[in-house]
Chain A
């Protein structure tokens, strides 16, 4: 398990409009590309490779499926897990159901955690 690597995915994709669009359009293909060509780069350095981290099967599937509940339960950082999916779903939800409708649906899907200790985001 690599919470760090899941967070690295969310971080590198959310901050780049072109990567975010590819993640919206073709999530399965894009996650594979990310694992081959983007994830293994040291941040801020296109030349140097890092061999330390890899996604598990569950992490990969959660990312492919935009499954923010699973990502929350794995301990992905709550801020990264929120902003990337706002970036993807806020507009379509807004035009259909009004402001904050995506954010409220996300909260509703996480209600089973409400009175429990949330999974730790410590990496």
Chain B
């Protein structure tokens, strides 16, 4: 059976590449620290020596729109193009082509269906920055096949935090059951408190620094009970209108299991709190 060797959950900041590759005199003061932290985080994936990446992200109205909007979707293709025109324009992210693992996608789709998750699927999925940002940060050589999974964190009504956690658990089961000797890493991105297109956007800190600190403590401890007791759609909206990206962190904790994280780091940037977590399955951590 396949073996989960690492679970990574992080924020995705589309300006990372631009911020750290600009000429030094144009870089923001935090850029060198940011780069150092990302490169350290990258090591936590490399150390696990994965063969394939299960990647969880959320399309930002690039391919998926309100005329046909799945809650959960899995890509099933031999490769995936990535980066849309408006992402190149706004963030300076280049085009990529990611290799797929169609067999694993097919297996996971079937397995998740049999666990009562009614996944939509796509045989022609163009990936957006929710999955390309972590390629840029933790696997810039882009040398591994991926199984992309999209969640709806954007177009209400959204699933509950509990459902996201349960989906993470189901994804873990599907990975564990995949008949293969591959080493699998699961990588998911989202946000802590975040405001976009509202009165609290682009402040000196994220819109709710107290939530950010608390969320980091919860994830560090793997305390899913505290998360499910405290985090609701209403509380997330109160922390910033795009805070629902936190649902993907909850999902990734489901993949890892309710365990303390093996690696935790964060960085207070001008308008968000960046956070980076890695869990190794217990038998791997020894």
Contacts and interface: CB of A to CB of B under 8 A. Distances in A.
B90 A107 contact: no
A29 to B, nearest CB: 22
A86 B202 CA distance: 13
A77 B199 contact: no
A50 B241 CA distance: 31
A114 B199 contact: yes
A106 B201 contact: yes
B37 interface: no
Nearest to A116: B199
A43 interface: yes
Interface in A67-123: 68, 72, 77-83, 86-87, 90, 100, 103-104, 106-108, 110-114, 117-118, 120-123
B196 A78 contact: yes
Secondary structure call for the B interface: loop
B263 interface: no
Interface residues of A, number: 39
A79 B203 CA distance: 17
Interface in B195-245: 196-203, 237, 241-242
B96 interface: no
A104 B241 CA distance: 16
Contacts of A113: 198-199
Contacts of B196: 78-79, 82
Contact of B157 (A72, A106, A122): A122
Given A78-B197, A79-B242, A11 B65 contact: yes
A87 B87 CA distance: 10
A15 B197 contact: no
Interface of B: 60-62, 65-68, 84-86, 89-90, 154-157, 196-203, 237, 241-242, 270
